[in-house]
Structure 1
Amino acid sequence: MESPLPIRKIIHVDMDAFYASVEQLDFPELRGKALAVGGNEVRGVVSAASYQARAFGVRSAMSGVLAKRLCPELIFVPPRFDRYREISMKIRAIFLEYTDLVEPLSLDEAYLDVTENKKGNPSATLIASQIRERIFQQTGLRCSAGISINKFVAKIASDYNKPNGQKTVEPDEVIPFLEALDIRKFYGVGKVTAQKMYQLGIFTGLDLKKKPIEFLNEHFGKSGSLYYNVVRGIHNSPVKPDRVPKSVGAERTFTENLSSEVFMLERLEHLSVELEQRLRKNKVAGKTITLKIKYSDFSLQTRSKTLDFYISDKSLILDTATELLYQEKLHNSVRLLGISLGNLNTDAPEIPVQTKKSLSVQLKFKF
């Protein structure tokens, strides 16, 4: 017999093709066209695709070369993140009119806990409809929503009637809904995991539910317990309004592959400046610097170093990133570089942050 499920009213709101829709909103000549934000027909990676482009198989994280091959009429436009953030803040303000329990996942999606809400509306389904209409009225953009008893099911449900739709999974519908679900639809089950599950005879939620927890832990490690619980509707993670980032980073894909470390140092300097600005905006610092290198053959390498002190200064970031660049010989020419700062001081922001100037003073007086 299944244990009773905790009843909360969770909404997952997901903007429809957000970046591409903003571009089509601001530039009428792009409306109805196959559009890709980011990348180009020579290189780079697609950040987002309009629904017209998706009809040809174009997806985010796809190379621009492949996207153009799939859709010869594809139009590439550069991303405008400042504009996306501006609209995202307007959308978040609408959320906060209904509840303070808003957990943004990115610029274009968020969880809302409306179990108790500012409107005194007992229907999460009606609240989701109102929010979607308010977003359209104030921004001209469409979104989809999923409504259920926890974040996991709400996330899956929001993708059910896209674009411009919503789906509610009532408490007594959760178990049948999950049992009938294709395993590929489970949030967090990617292509590799799905293939592994297929090999183990797991094709639907019901197949997954039949497997004992020992079996799942043996084949999927720590994720085994998660799969065991979520297919039973058990996912007690609360909506966290102050979602703390684990790392802050910046990266760039280059129009031409870089083979000279001199040119790479120039790019790392620009990335260090950008990363410092993001750290200041988030009012955080960190100890662990990670250098991300993607080679021309698309192989990926990361190199990390953890310092004894917190930093957010662009000079110290660049110094450490440079050290990591020269740590070992590059395998090939480079198409992407990225720097991220982790091990953040989000739990102890009062700890002093090291700067280039304060470090030089310490070294000067060191015996």
Structure 2
Amino acid sequence: MTGLLGRGPTRDTLLLSPGRGAVAFRVSRSSALLTAAAGTAALAVATVSLTLGVFPIGVGDVLTVLGGGGTLIERDIVLNDRLPRALTGLGVGAAFALSGALLQRIAANPLVSPDVIGINSGAAMGALVVLLILGGSGLQLVLGALLGALLAAVLILLIAYKRGLHGFRLVLVGIGVAAMLSSATSYLLTRADINRAMSAAAWLTGSLANRGGLHVAIIVTALAVTVPVLIVGSRHLRLLELGDDLTRTLTGAGQGRKVVLLLVAVVLAALATAAAGPIGFVALVAPQITRRILAERQVGLAPSAAVGALLVVSADLAGRLLFAPTEMPVGVLTAVFGAPVLLYLLARAHRIGAAG
């Protein structure tokens, strides 16, 4: 973007225009700095992960391969094995974080995320139906995860909606729906063939092992489709936090924008689940880290995505290093570190409610 128009309403804000037109974008200095720092760190961790494995490759050799050089063996290992894993981790982390940030802003509640309220469980359930009952894979699994997430979201909204979306009502209903879906998932596993059940159980933990070009294509497509919508729709997130009545009074808009943003959040969570399994707590934790660093001055979608990518690739790298020669699935580590954050947010919400 070019054409700097000048400072925005605060010293931290700049107003940018893509040209001479009337459209302008407000950019936060601190938000841009956090995005650049977290994004650079995520890329650095991903690059280091390309060097690790049964056949170690130096960072310099990895960069040579990425530049088009290297031996045939190095190119095969890096490009066909390790690079898809790293790219999937970056994309999945960004997608989960964006989904969580959207839901938390729309519901005005830090406890709302696709894994907590059952959207991830719906996606996992839909994918398992394809894997265990229909015997499908690939794009069929993607469609199953997307359909499952959409059905779960519709069910949650139908039950939770009462003169608008209220944060704690949404959380309680979502936890109940997630519990029902988890029970259905367990039932499917008990009725499946032992080999398929073991494969599905490993997938349910959330893992980046054995990722390939299809998984990269899934998450890249998800981000390519949803990010342009977010660029336009993110301007309305702060207004949506004010409530339906006040938003309608200030903008004259109905529920259309909220429905579109909710749909984007569901699609991101569903396709991220299809690509790497239901990796827990990234969608919950990444937006909270971002909001605390930025002191909640900005919507923070871009920095949340960068922080989410950093969390996933870092957890994956830690799972490979700390438990070598075996690997700990990334979903296990994110749950270990994410669960205390959830408990903290619950305790904080209780203290605020008691003080009120």
* Common fold: TM-score over 0.5: no
When the two structures are superposed, what TM-score results if normalisation uses the length of structure 2? 0.21
Rg comparison, structure with higher value: 1
Higher strand share: 1
